[in-house]
Amino acid sequence: MSLRIVPVTFRRACAFVDERHRHHKKPIGCKFQIGLENGVGLVGVAIVGRPISRVFDDGFCAEITRTCTDGTFNANSMLYGACRRAAQAMGYTRVITYNEDGESGASLKAAGFWKVKDLKARKNWAESSVKCRAKRNPNGRGGVIRGLWEWKA
């Protein structure tokens, strides 16, 4: 069966992430979300929002905050590419995302993203911002080296 990009509600995308994501919970909000189905049902979702880092939040940068699939071949690449094209159509000139150390980034490369740099591990997500410490989960995905990837128009 062929895969196709489909619209999906934020609620449905979050439920998919909650059921299947290996290490992250659903995000709190988003700009838009995209689904991927195989003719039988949903096999993946991507959620795009404002950049988490204030440095990148200039109004022209979007961040893919989650992708989640059931393991279907090429699903992640299709979702990353669809997010990039949708963001570009909406006027965004830059799209960023992160992956964890040990993840190859093959899906990102296939979708036209470039690795910018590796980011050192932090104790937790709250470590980077004094103002946001009270709002963030101190037990997030700290202690993990991450890669910053981007696409620019």
- What CA–CA distance (Å, rounded) separates 110 from 105? 9
pLDDT exceeds 60 at position 42? yes
pTM for the whole thing? 0.85
Element (H, E) at 141: none
Q: How far is CA 67 from the centre of its chain?
A: 5
CATH of the domain at 102: 3.40.630.30
Full residue range of the structural domain in which residue 117 is found: 4-152
Write down the pLDDT at residue 22.
59
Would the pLDDT of 136 be above 80? no
The residue with greater pLDDT, 129 or 107, is 107
Instruction: Calculate the average pLDDT of the chain.
Output: 87
Q: How many domains does the chain have?
A: 1
In degrees rounded to 5, what are phi and psi of residue 20? -125, -15
